Amino acid sequence: MRKREFTVGSLVHIFNRGNRRQAIVREGCDKWHFLQMLYYFNTSVSIANPFKSLRKKMKFGSKERLIWPRKWPRQKPIVKIIAFALVDNHFHLLLKEIVAGGIALFMQKIGVSMTFYFNKKYKETGRLFQGSYKASVVDNDEYLKYLSVYIQVKNILEIYPKGFQACLDDFDKAFDWVIGYPYCSLADYVDKRNSPIIDKDILGEIFLTFEEYKVFAKDCIFAINLKEKVEGLSIYE
């Protein structure tokens, strides 16, 4: 894991992909486990074997619900998760550092746990990711706006079952499909979900309505090469 530290208040785009572009999740339950990690690892409190503990305390296998058990120590978040997207071979996170060293600690937990989970389940060995995660500080609203669409719209449209051209032919239908994709944060910003993972205070201040965000997203998809735009505004460390 990388050692770089960010200052409290830093807004940071995190990205990592599978080693040799291999899958980091193979099944729906793997993707759900990623969401669990985003929620249950976002705390300064150390909980031994949290997922085993969840199965015992909640007696439902902790599937499809994110609930903080009453008997656990109170959750003390170390980052704000502003946006996320997960596909088979990579993920994106938009995080805000709220305690010193929070992003580094959070990403260490994610990286170690994902590798352990994947290798144990699929009887693999070695590293899961291509290397240390990449991180880029988001230092202005323009970058944030384009980045949010790149993370939680463009990345998911690239796996649209009908192909990317179909997204351009019928953007409204494709956008609705992204809203229904469980493993990105867009649904939280269009009031179709209220996940405890997400903190909407930053993007919610920039885009005041769902329709405003949708129009901006459509313009991004049609009018520019969004990947190049985002990379031109960022400097990865």
Instruction: For the sheet with 134-137, list strands across it.
Output: 79-87, 90-97, 11-17, 134-137
- What dihedral angle (degrees, nearest 10) is formed by the CA atoms of 216, 81, 90, 16? 110
Calpha distance 113→153 (Å, rounded): 26
Per-domain boundaries in the chain? 11-136, 140-233
Q: Over the Cα atoms of the chain, what is R_g?
A: 18
Q: What's the confidence (pLDDT) of residue 48? A: 75
Helix 141-149 and helix 226-233, axial crossing angle in degrees, nearest 10: 150
User: Residue 64: its pLDDT value, please?
Assistant: 64
CA 216/CA 4 separation, integer angstroms: 33
pLDDT of residue 67: 84
What pLDDT was estimated at residue 46? 81
pLDDT digit of tens for each residue in the chain (237 aa)? 445 678 999 999 999 999 999 999 999 999 999 999 999 999 998 877 788 777 765 554 445 678 888 888 899 999 999 999 999 999 999 999 999 999 999 999 999 999 999 999 999 999 999 999 999 999 888 899 999 999 999 999 999 999 988 998 999 999 999 999 999 999 998 888 999 999 988 887 888 788 989 999 999 998 878 877 787 777 665
Q: What is the DSSP letter of 191?
A: T
Looking at residue 138, its pLDDT comes to 94
pLDDT for 60 equals 47
pLDDT at 158: 93
Q: Which residues contact 30 (CB under 8 A, 6 or more apart)?
A: 117, 118, 121
Superfamily of domain 11-136: Transposase IS200-like (3.30.70.1290)
Residue-level pLDDT at 16? 97
